[in-house]
Amino acid sequence: MAAYRGLLVSFLLPLLLQTVYPLQLDHSDVKLFAELEELARIVDISYCIGATGLGIQKPFQCLSRCSEFEDFELVTTWNTGLLLSDSCGYIALSHPPSPPRIIVAFRGTYSIANTIADLSTIPQEYVPYPGGDDGGSESSKLLGRGDTIPTRAGETPPPSNPPKCTNCTVHMGFHTSWLNTRKSILPDLTKSMELYPNYTLTLVGHSLGGAVATLAGLDFKNRGWDPRVTTFGEPRVGNAALAQYINKRFDIPPANETSSRKSAKFYRITHINDPVPLLPLAEWGYAMHGEELFISAPSLPPAVSDIRHCNGDEDPHCIAGDGDERPLWGIPTRFKFWELFFAHRDYFWRLGLCVPGGDPWDWYREYRKYGDGMDEMENTEL
């Protein structure tokens, strides 16, 4: 009987593991963990821009974590306002010996009320670039620049013929945030791309900034650029058709296919108990896209083994099913709005407060610079 049980377990265990895809603690997954942890600190710096921060100054100085990135050079910051369609962030160059990157970091929103309100507006039709820049379109009206935004200094946009997004709708507030942001950042961004053509275009965003980063990534992809996108606590951006369009544009594999995960160019990071990735509600016509990595540890800091590769767009073993089987006080995760202060901010670090060393919650922790000795992290916590 014991031998039979052993055979049964050895047969079933691989099938069970196919569902949740935990990081395997090999060198490539440890490297991915380190990259995500660094990107979390990079996007945390974006909270220095806006009402509660004193900003970021050149060469790369701020009250928060700027000193942790000695090889960074600030290009510009932007702040489009304090309305529901506001957007803040910065563009920086990551010079060697750090990985050569042009980083565009999109901040979330300070206001919890605004966060919830941002998630309640009606959807609108999504038209990919360059269609969204056609004369008379809503995009053109908002930008006031038509199709004349340069992609390299002194040039007009590249010829682009991206596939249509049939029956796609997008959250109006998120889309407006991106349109307002686009006119603010494209001149500086394209100039940086001209000066540093071999640097990787890297987009990172948290919360509302994750939604804007996603739409920016689509825009840049449709222009013929090659962005890498990482979002933390990204809400649902649009309907199922738009989610599938994102998957196709970024070569995100469907459920049960994992061959390209090691070289993925889009990661959507979620955290247990975070309500924002579950909003706007599916009942309102919104859906998640794929390439989700789920942080299963409720408290900080997570270990490498706490990160799961999820299966498909809405894996029930990841954020899509979080809390459905064990709702706290009968309240499912998507309605735990108090977690906007906690789980929604807890992505490797507690994000969202521009003070020396980051949020005081993190002051007892040390960060590490990762190099050839990353294997030492395999069974440790940061």
SS3 110: coil
317 catalytic per annotation: no
As given in the structure block, the two tokens for residue 77 are 């910051």
SS3 283: helix
From the candidates 29, 86, 118, 274, give the one annotated as an active-site residue.
274
207 catalytic per annotation: yes
Rg (CA), the chain: 20
133-142: pLDDT as tens digits: 433 344 333 3
Residues with Cβ < 8 Å from 337, sequence gap 6 or more?
112, 116, 275
- How many Å apart are CA 10 and CA 15, to the nearest integer? 9
Q: What is residue 371's predicted lDDT score, i.e. its pLDDT?
A: 40
How do 200-206 and 101-106 pair as beta strands? parallel
Low-confidence ranges of the chain (pLDDT < 50): 1-20, 24-25, 133-155, 259, 325-327, 367-382
Q: What is residue 249's predicted lDDT score, i.e. its pLDDT?
A: 94
- How many Å apart are CA 382 and CA 204, to the nearest integer? 21
87 catalytic per annotation: no
232-250: pLDDT as tens digits: 999 999 999 999 999 999 9
Contact 293, 368 (CB under 8 A): no
Q: Which residues pair with 103 in a beta bridge?
A: 92, 202
As given in the structure block, the two tokens for residue 32 are 């991915």
Residues with Cβ < 8 Å from 185, sequence gap 6 or more?
76, 78, 89, 91, 104
From the candidates 344, 346, 359, 362, give the one annotated as an active-site residue.
344
Longest dimension (CA), the chain: 76
Q: What is residue 15's predicted lDDT score, i.e. its pLDDT?
A: 37
Peptide bond into 97 cis (omega under 30): yes
Q: Which residue has the tokens 């889309």?
A: 175
Q: What is residue 28's predicted lDDT score, i.e. its pLDDT?
A: 75
From the candidates 207, 289, 296, 309, give the one annotated as an active-site residue.
207
> Can you give the pTM of this predicted structure?
0.81
